[in-house]
Structure 1
Amino acid sequence: MYDVAIVEDEELERRALRTILSNKIDGINIVGEARNGVEAMDLINNNAIDLILVDINIPKPNGLEIIQSLRQKNMKTKVVILTAYDYFEIMQKAIHLKADSFLLKPVKTDELLGVVNACLGDLGASRTHNEIADQIWTLLEQRAYRECLSLVRKHLEAIYARKGEAPRQAILDFSDELLALSDKRKVEMPDDLLGQIANLRKERLDARSRNRIHGLFCQIVDALFQMTEEHFGRSPERMQNVLNYIERNLNKEITLEDAANCASVSPCYFSRLFKKTMGDTFVAYVKQRRIHHAKEMLEGSDLPIMNIALDLSFNDINYFAKVFKKEVGVTPSEYRRQCRA
């Protein structure tokens, strides 16, 4: 349900607007009407208005002053200006105040319905962006990185899939919601990323930029994750949990993504933190632990070398022998002979 206000000093016009909107458009609630600027100010100060229809020439304060006050209170309110005059100066001021549309009086029913429905459609998209941003924050708190990226990808796909609708404004609105989210949660975005987001307003943002836009939003998610998970680096217990996970799964394929998921952080952040904490890359560390276990098995068992390789997730015995020699200095067979000499 969207709350709509009508500001019009002529009673017949005001009544006609109310009747048309109430009878022809579902999902709206006329929260109030105003005959002059004073009543209009009272209306916007006491209601969270989604859409307002304003006659420019109402008694003081006039329509433009009302819009200016409204913008200071709630920038997301949709504004439709009603005017009997097609004055360029008025239009210019209204555009500066981010009016959404203009209707010349006397207002035609089909034009009114078209403009209002378009505004309601924008409001619906805006609410969707806001809801998605809230869901993203919930996933951030749950450390659900993959789900977060999936949510962003699906939302961008939905934006590009809307028929007859240019994706540019929806993308800009979505980026604004994510920036508002970071401000609200006191998460500071990197300057280079803020620069890329700002540059979006200078671009066409059509289907050809789809992949790049997706990449940029993934970077935004990464930044949000990194800034909200800094405490992980100060938690030795959580890193130890990851190391324990690696030890338990040396007989399986272990990816960086698997370990990051175990730690409930993003792969990008986990990779940097692991190197900083352990002094080596994740891949190198896993390889070293496998070779360490291979040495123990070569020393303390009679298992065939092929079986040892397979037990430690080396599917190619030649590759295992190559890695082993690089790490230890001798082949697995030579190492076993040396241990038993």
Structure 2
Amino acid sequence: MLKVLVIDDELDIREGLAHIIDWTTYGFAIVAEAANGKEALAYLEKETIHLIVTDISMPVMNGLEFIKELRARGWQHNVIVLSAYNDFGYLKEALKYRVENYLLKPVDEDELVATLLQVKEDIHYEIAYNLQEKENLNILRSKVLNRLVTRNISHMEFMNKADFLQIDLAAASYRVILIELESATELFERSGERFDHLKLFSAMNICQELLDARMDGVLFEDSHQHLIFIAKFTTNSLMFSYEAIADEMKDALKRYAKQPASVIIGPEVHNVSDIHLSYYKALELLEYKFYLGREATINDQQVPTCNNDNQVALENRFRALEACIMADDAEGCLAITSELYDTFKLNAKIGKPFIQHATFELFMTALKQVKEANGDVTQILSRPEQLYSNIQAQQTIDDMREYLDNNIHSIMQYLILLKKGRPVKVIKSVIEYIQTNFNQEITLKQAAETVFINPGYLGKLFKKETGLSFHDYLNKVRIDKAKELLLTTNQFVYQVSERVGYKDYNYFHKTFKKYVGTTPSDFQ
């Protein structure tokens, strides 16, 4: 609703205006009244109003004096003037100060409505124009600030444009704080698409509000869709913890924008022309998120250091891991893998490409054993040709460790089955699982987890050993139990359906007829 202030020294006129039309029907609401211009000015100093309806002849400060003062203060409120025939001299003067219309008393309802509709259209246009103007200004500011942090603008050109764009970077020192939204990065790396503008705008508003309350600076979006805050410091700046502010931002973004984020804190620099050094260092530190994990806060002090002795230890663990794979020692294999990645995390200088390659080699070592045991690699990896790209897709070292651990476990269990001939025992365990849990909502994946086998491989193995798919076997068990209950109890068909694991009665009816050849009701 657009807010309206009515100014008139006569109470009955103010009350009459409030009831002459249903203001809300036209998008307005009378929220305040004043008996003269002086009262109105006092109110406008504290509150936001979209439209003012004012009388001309009033004591203390009349309508003409009020409008003059309104414009002298630079206030651009929309004004409708009320006047009597003998106020024409005042009215003529008031029209010089931009009013929307003048209405003669008593006010004509149709003329008031027509004026309000025009005013509403003008106000909405002005709001939209101001928003667009503000957005265009923000775009220009971002472009100039991007050129600053990437050192693509001269100091003189920046200072000239900063003055026009109201960018104030006067300070004793600066520090770049980079906020990376996890979902924006994942989307761009996966598909090359830009993140949703409204989501990014929401995240920026949250950061802006929090940062403004803690420190001085400017916030903008860089070309990688990172949020960049150039923090300014003076000799009077308060002491604070960057890490604490980073934690506040991450918590606020996750809670209110549903956006997990990482925060990178660049080093301090002392000249505007050196801000790019803090920015590029922040981008460099961002690479260490691979080691430190998602939603990290990263600065120079948190970067892992390299120990020359670790390279020797790394090679020793490779040999130990290969020995465990060949010995079918699944627990030992996973223990060494865990230790190996702990070593990676302490060796930032090893580099992400090396760790990706090392992970790929670990997979290949294990898969080689599968081939030597006459196994089928596709039982473990549905698309083996995508293995390396899947490794590269892991965002952090912890993701890579989890990806390797999950697959190594499946590989080792598959190797044990191949080398020790355990398929029959495995299928027996799965059948026992079905017999015990048929009345629950169970899946092939859940059954596979009980015997530590890849679901795809278990499905093929189950059909090979039983002649039925897992799903068909489960249905057979359920239908056999349903037949027994229908013959030995007085339960209704829908009750039997639920007892044997079918939550959907129609599906039970259809499945029963498929396996038995008749409906449950006819079977009774």
TM range (shorter): 0.3 to 0.5
Bigger helix fraction: 1
Q: TM-score, normalised by structure 2?
A: 0.32
Pick 1 or 2: higher relative contact order, CA cutoff 8 A, min separation 6: 1
Q: TM-score, normalised by structure 1?
A: 0.46
